[in-house]
Each structure stands twice: as C-alpha cells, then as structure tokens.
C-alpha cells in the first residue's frame, strides 16, 4: 500500500501537465533549470529534506531538513 505520493506539474504558455506517482517507502521530486536544481524528498514517516543546488558545480545553495511526523 502506498504511504507517499509525489506530484509534479510542468507549465508552458498554453498548458499545464501534471503527473503523480505513489510510493510505499518515499516520494522524491526534482525540478531544474539549466543552472539550478531543486529536490524535495519525503519518507513514509514524514521526515525528509528540500535542497537547492547549483547544477554545474553541485554547490549547495539552500537546504532544509525535517524530522518524522512523530516528533511534531
């Protein structure tokens, strides 16, 4: 049974496309431009992270980590 879901939406001038995937262990979504990559990850316990990286060098620009739902 799926414990997580990842949604992704892409937009251009005249349309939007959305997809989703279910996962029993985790959900991960990555969005990118030619210079920047952002990743969000959530595990089935509610813990996870959001990171923004410079794509060419891999330098970390921003990072946010959070614990499981049981800690909130």
Domains of the chain, by residue range, sit at 25-72
DSSP symbol at 53: E
Mean pLDDT by 10 residues, the chain (72 residues): 85 92 93 94 96 95 95 74
Count of other CB atoms within 10 angstroms of residue 43: 16
As a whole number of angstroms, the distance between CA 40 and CA 48 comes to 8
CA distance 59 to 50: 14
pLDDT for 3 equals 85
CA 11 to chain centre: 17
The predicted structure's pLDDT at residue 15? 94
């Amino acid at each position: 049974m799926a414990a997580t879901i990842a949604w992704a939406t892409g937009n251009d001038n005249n349309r939007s496309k959305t997809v989703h995937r279910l996962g029993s262990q985790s959900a991960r979504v990555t969005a990118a431009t030619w210079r920047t990559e952002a990743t969000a990850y959530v595990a089935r316990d509610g813990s996870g992270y959001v990171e923004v990286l410079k794509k060419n060098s891999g330098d970390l620009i921003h990072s946010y980590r959070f614990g499981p739902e049981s800690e909130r």
